[in-house]
Amino acid sequence: MATRLVQINMKAQDDSVLGRFWAEALGWGVDSEGPGVTNLEPVGFAYPDPAAVCIDIVARPEPKTVKNRVHLDLATTSTAHQAELVARLTDLGATLADVGQGNVPWTVMADPEGNEFCVLEPRPIYRDTGPIAAVVVDCTDPREMARFWGEAMDWTLHEVTDDHATMRSAKGVGPYLEFLRSPDTKSVWNRVHLDVCPYLGDDLAAEAARLRALGAADPGIDQSAISWTVLADPEGNEFCLLTPR
């Protein structure tokens, strides 16, 4: 049994407005499975497929109050492309952001609801990822996060150090999942989190039990009205275990 990363869940005060921003930013299509939910995926995409990690934007009234522990890194192909993308995102409503990054070759920005993301300088490693180079998770112990997520998912672990860890689909396509050491500690419910999905034919309850045995915890919320399972990784980051498909 195993899971794989299929989408990012992002909370928003206005899911449709934020959805339009990210659809334009990524060049993706927009759909909705119901009121208060905006779904984004590449045009012509057959979900789920490791070639892309999709985005679900869900309406929630609470405003953003702290730096997100999960963010997106966007890929570029040249310094000119990086500058053009930053300018285009600014026109769409993004702003430059300061998270203490100092003088770095990438550009830190925030979307219209303040969610941080990075527009990377061109890097060969991300030349075939699509518009999203990586999904980045802040953590205090990248090695432990790599241990947990490396066993939780069937993705390939590419690099592990004290400061960062990197994984990618075993098929060698789509964005990377990266764990970056950060001095910040988790203080609120994450407004951006990972959604993982078992394979068709797997048992949801059995997979949830396996993840708990690996170190996942229950977040202590009422889950009686949902068809998926909400868990937390060893550093308390919430994630959803979706119905197998």
Per-residue DSSP letters for the chain?
Answer: --EEEEEEEEEESSHHHHHHHHHHHHT-EEEEEETTEEEEE-TT--SS-TT--EEEEEE-SSPP-S--SEEEEE--SSHHHHHHHHHHHHHHT-EE--SS--S-SSEEEE-TT--EEEEPPP-GGGTTS-SEEEEEEEES-HHHHHHHHHHHBSPEEEEE-SSEEEEE-TTS-S-EEEEEE-S----S--SEEEEEEEPTT--HHHHHHHHHHHT-B------TT-SSEEEE-TT--EEEEPPP-
Who's near 221: CB < 8 A, 6+ residues apart? 230
Residue 184 near residue 137 (C-beta atoms within 8 A)? no
CATH 3.10.180.10 at 4-241, yes or no: yes
Per-residue pLDDT at 78 exceeds 90: yes
Confidence of residue 222 (pLDDT cuts 50, 70, 90): confident
Rounded CA gap, 30 and 51, in Å?
A: 18
129-141 pLDDT per residue, tens: 999 999 999 999 9
pLDDT of residue 57: 98
Domain ranges in the chain?
A: 4-241
pLDDT of residue 39: 97
The whole-number average pLDDT for the span 200-212 is: 95
pLDDT of residue 245: 87
b/e burial code for range 129-140 (CB count within 10 A of at least 16 → b): bbbbbbbbbbbe
Q: What is the mean pLDDT of the chain?
A: 96
pLDDT of residue 225: 85
pLDDT of residue 229: 96
Sign of the C-alpha dihedral computed for residues 114, 119, 125 and 127 taken in this order: positive
144-184 pLDDT per residue, tens: 999 999 999 999 999 999 999 999 999 999 999 999 999 88
Per-residue pLDDT at 33 exceeds 90: no
117-126 pLDDT per residue, tens: 999 999 999 9
5-25 pLDDT per residue, tens: 999 999 999 999 999 999 999
Per-residue pLDDT at 224 exceeds 90: no
Rounded CA gap, 87 and 36, in Å?
A: 29
Here the tokens at position 12 are: 């928003």
Rounded CA gap, 24 and 6, in Å?
A: 20
93-125 pLDDT per residue, tens: 999 999 999 999 999 999 999 999 999 999 999
What is the bridge-based pairing of β-strands 107-110 and 116-119?
antiparallel
Q: pTM of the prediction?
A: 0.96
CA angle 93, 97, 101 (to 5 degrees): 150
